[in-house]
């Protein structure tokens, strides 16, 4: 992650090539750009094309972040774990530890902050923002961001419901994890799915604690591990030997949605990357939140405290960044899979998952929003406006 600002700056070298490509295309009505590629606004303006910024995150994070920035909420508290009331949304409490560097500093500065500011400014100057979310999930926060007419937020998700199912070759062998899941379903066993996304770095000590926690929780589990070094292999091999058929560790890329869709999967220990949260909601699997970095801590607050589709792992010192001991995992895994709180969040995720499907179906809020956006962009094009951003 330390390379992030340099990497983002390097993408600017693509601008002339991007503009050459734009030049060759006719009838470009709009540009949908990753929000982090700020330079696409300049290209869009040169060509008189509206730019829509896309971030793979939710509106809760955007709205809370806006209040935190406006009111400089992170400059006050003494401790990184002091609860801070969010102005404008007083039922929401955050801590400085919910933010990564440089935003968690009292007076943030440096190239990473410059990059964040540039991203914010170009988004504010864009035609709109495309959001991978649906209105009914977070109406308060979408309305908050849309209190200014521009840039308007267009919620057109969850996009995972628009994905075509993966092509299955009937002659091909099923992946091992799918066979294992089918076997668990046939035995009427529930499975806990464990995955921490594509970016998190987990220490060996923490990996060992997760392994022990899963072993002691006595649930069936499928754990997707990204790290493939020797140290990790030793921990995983040892775990597999100890749990036998009860657990499966996968080291390669899996079709996460196929796992969440599977009838045996009844819980998801997740880092709360926004795609994982949405996929879990869409397939009605309650979450055990274990945020690691980026905006995941705020996503976890949203999941647990706002929309209530999940519980949270227990850290040993109460800090959101604290170490999770085997007991802190085991206790919450049991609660999610068998406890009263688990039942509550399961009920809630079923209700919200239904809402997600309705939003994406013909006539639903995301379907209507996408149509409105297309119609509006066509009107803009037909009116021959020069620079629309």
Binding interface with ligand UPG (CB under 6 A): 56-57, 197-199, 224, 253-257, 273-276, 279, 294-296
Contact 8, 115 (CB under 8 A): yes
Instruction: State which residue has the least CB distance to ligand UPG.
Output: 273
Residue 332 in 3-state DSSP? helix
In the complex, least distance from residue 38 CB atom to ligand UPG, rounded to whole angstroms = 16
Output 98 or 279, the one with its CB closest to ligand UPG. 279
Q: Can you tell me the distance from the alpha carbon of 39 to that of 125, in angstroms, rounded to the nearest whole number?
A: 12
Nearest residue (CB) to ligand UPG, 2 versus 382: 2
Question: Running DSSP on this structure, what letter comes out for residue 202?
Answer: -
Closest distance of CB 7 from ligand UPG, Å: 14
Shortest reach from residue 89's CB to ligand UPG, in Å: 20
Non-local CB neighbours of 162 within 8 Å, separated by 6+ positions: 360
Our CB check for ligand UPG shows the closer of 49 and 298 to be 298
90 versus 166: smaller Cβ distance to ligand UPG: 166
Nearest to 189, CA basis, from 128, 262, 295: 262
d(CA 177, CA 254): 8
- Distance in angstroms (rounded) separating the CA atoms of residues 147 and 297: 25
Q: In terms of C-beta density within 10 A (0-12 exposed, 13-18 middle, 19 or more buried), how is residue 384 classed?
A: exposed
CB of 97 to ligand UPG, least distance (A): 15
Min dist CB 250 to ligand UPG, Å, is 8
Nearest to ligand UPG of 129, 257 (CB atom) = 257
CA-closest candidate to residue 13, choices 36, 37, 31: 37
Of 79 and 199, CB closest to ligand UPG: 199
The DSSP bridge partners found for residue 53 are 33, 129
CA distance 198 to 190: 25
- Beta carbon of residue 384, minimum distance to ligand UPG (angstroms, whole number): 35
Q: State how far the Cα of 295 lies from the Cα of 290, in Å rounded to an integer.
A: 12
The least CB distance from residue 58 to ligand UPG, in Å, is 8
Shortest approach of ligand UPG to residue 363 CB, angstroms?
26
DSSP assignment string, 92-155:
EEE-GGGS-TTTTSSS--SHHHHHHHHHHHHHHTSSEEEESS-GGGSHHHHHHHTTSSSSEEEE
Instruction: Decide: 239 and 247 in contact? Cβ < 8 Å.
Output: yes
Question: Residue 36 Cβ, how far from ligand UPG at the closest point, in Å?
Answer: 10
Nearest to ligand UPG of 65, 330 (CB atom):
65
At closest approach, how far in Å is the CB of 349 from ligand UPG? 16
Q: Measured between alpha carbons, how far is 364 from 385 in angstroms, rounded to an integer?
A: 30
Comparing CB distances to ligand UPG, the nearer of 8 and 377 is: 8
Name the residue nearer to ligand UPG (CB basis): 127 or 283: 283
Looking at beta carbons only, is 66 or 226 nearer to ligand UPG? 226
Taking alpha carbons only, the member of 123, 316, 285, 300 closest to residue 213 is: 316
Strand order in the sheet with 128-131: 31-34, 51-55, 128-131, 152-155
Sequence-distant (≥ 6) Cβ neighbours of residue 293 within 8 angstroms: 1, 100, 199, 200, 271
């Amino acid at each position: 992650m330390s390379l992030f600002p340099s990497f983002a700056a390097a993408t600017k070298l693509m601008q002339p090539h991007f503009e050459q490509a734009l030049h060759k295309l006719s009838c470009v009505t709009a540009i949908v750009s990753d929000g982090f590629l700020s330079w696409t606004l300049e290209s869009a303006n040169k060509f008189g094309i509206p730019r829509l910024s896309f971030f793979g995150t939710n509106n809760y994070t955007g709205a809370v972040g806006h209040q935190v920035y406006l009111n400089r909420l992170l400059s006050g508290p003494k401790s990184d774990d002091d609860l801070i009331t969010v102005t404008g949304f007083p039922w929401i409490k955050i801590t400085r530890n919910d933010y990564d560097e440089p935003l968690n500093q009292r007076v943030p500065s440096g190239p990473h902050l410059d990059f964040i500011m540039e991203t914010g400014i170009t988004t504010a100057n864009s035609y709109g923002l495309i959001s991978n979310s649906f209105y009914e999930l977070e109406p308060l926060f979408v309305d908050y961001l849309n209190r200014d007419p521009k840039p308007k937020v267009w919620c057109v998700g969850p996009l995972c419901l628009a994905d075509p199912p993966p092509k299955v070759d009937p002659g091909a062998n099923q992946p091992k994890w799918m066979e294992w899941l089918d076997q668990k379903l046939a035995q009427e066993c529930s499975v806990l799915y464990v995955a921490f996304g594509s970016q998190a770095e987990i220490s060996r000590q923490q990996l060992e604690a997760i392994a022990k926690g899963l072993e002691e929780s006595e649930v069936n589990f499928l754990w997707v591990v990204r790290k493939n070094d020797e140290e990790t292999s030793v921990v995983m091999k040892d775990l597999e030997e100890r749990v036998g058929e009860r657990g499966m560790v996968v080291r390669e890329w899996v079709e996460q949605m196929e796992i969440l869709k599977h009838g045996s999967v009844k819980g998801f220990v997740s880092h709360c990357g926004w795609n994982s949260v949405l996929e879990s909601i869409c397939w009605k699997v309650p979450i055990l939140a274990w945020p690691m970095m980026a905006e995941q801590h705020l996503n976890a607050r949203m999941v647990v405290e706002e929309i209530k589709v999940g519980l949270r792992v227990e850290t040993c010192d109460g800090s959101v960044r604290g170490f999770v001991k085997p007991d802190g995992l085991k206790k919450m895994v049991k609660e999610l899979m068998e406890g009263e709180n688990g039942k509550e969040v399961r009920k809630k995720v079923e209700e919200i998952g239904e809402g997600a499907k309705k939003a994406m179906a013909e006539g639903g809020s995301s379907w209507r929003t996408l149509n409105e956006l297309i119609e509006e962009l066509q009107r803009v094009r037909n009116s021959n406006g020069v620079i629309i951003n």
